[in-house]
Amino acid sequence: MDLKVDLRGKVAVVTGGAGVLCAGMSLSLAGNGAKVAVLDLRADAAEGVAAEIRRKGGSALGLGVDVLAKPSLEAARSHILHEFGTVDILINGAGGNMPRATTGAERTFFDLTAEDIRMVMDLNFLGTVLPSQVFGKVMVEKQKGVIINISSMAAYTPLTRTIAYSAAKAAVSNLTAWLAVHFNQEYSKEIRVNAIAPGFLLTEQNRYLLTDINTGEPTPRGQQVLAATPMGRYGAVDDLLGAVLFLCSDAASFVNGAVIPIDGAFAAYSGV
């Protein structure tokens, strides 16, 4: 998709940047002129995305980073400041669900362990807070910046089975509003914190829930999702890029504390 905003001279940090959604966002930010630091637990995959950006003529760094370990984030910040000089944009993309924190025939609510629930809560919520502390500090110093969090449809009304993921994404939406107000009141009127809430995209984190691994046909849950999405399809990474670029750009100069659903009207539909 050929979307254009002018991000030349901007430096973007994308956590979870080797994942399906955030690799697409990293490429799109770079295609619009930003220098991109691709951060991911999977260092090789992060470097793979960065190498693809460089092959296309952009500037990028790929770094192995754990968003749940502050020293790891701080080391990445030093590296990025050394290479690119600043941070203008942070996309908090690392997140997701885990089968072990999902109820089903083989695992009832009563079987879920505290450890597995905590892992999903931490990855999505703390994994958004800690990078916002580490890279938000650079934004406070320069009195300007853009943070974009990734929420979910599960944040509006919890989705069945995904107990921890639904709660964690509700926390991410709540945090988005909190951070927007906090940065404005305490530090700068020029720091904006928003979120996108993607509808259902078919990716590795949910493929096992939405398609039959043997036949590739929609599971009953997949059929339910499509029936509950008035646009009648899953989203694609490209569907998210317009909103991400908009939020990064000065066109969104008064958009702050917002959670934007990009969901084919899933959240708007009561089912009746």
| Binding footprint of ligand NAD on the chain (CB under 6 A) | 15-16, 18-22, 40-42, 65-68, 93-96, 123, 127, 150, 152, 198, 200-201, 203-206
Closer residue to ligand NAD in complex, CB, 15/256: 15
Which of 165, 187, 208, 269 is flagged as catalytic?
165
Nearer to ligand NAD, 19 or 264 (CB): 19
Query: Least CB distance from residue 237 to ligand NAD, whole Å?
Result: 8
Q: Which residues contact 115 (CB under 8 A, 6 or more apart)?
A: none
Question: In angstroms, what is the minimal distance from the CB of 66 to ligand NAD?
Answer: 5
Active site residue 165: yes
For residue 30, the minimal CB distance to ligand NAD (Å) is 17
118 or 189, CB closer to ligand NAD?
A: 118
Q: How far is the CB of 265 from ligand NAD (least distance, A)?
A: 15
Nearer to ligand NAD, 213 or 272 (CB): 213
Tell me the CA distances in angstroms from 159 to 74, 176, 209, 258, one per residue in order.
Answer: 34, 20, 12, 21
Q: Catalytic positions, please? A: 165
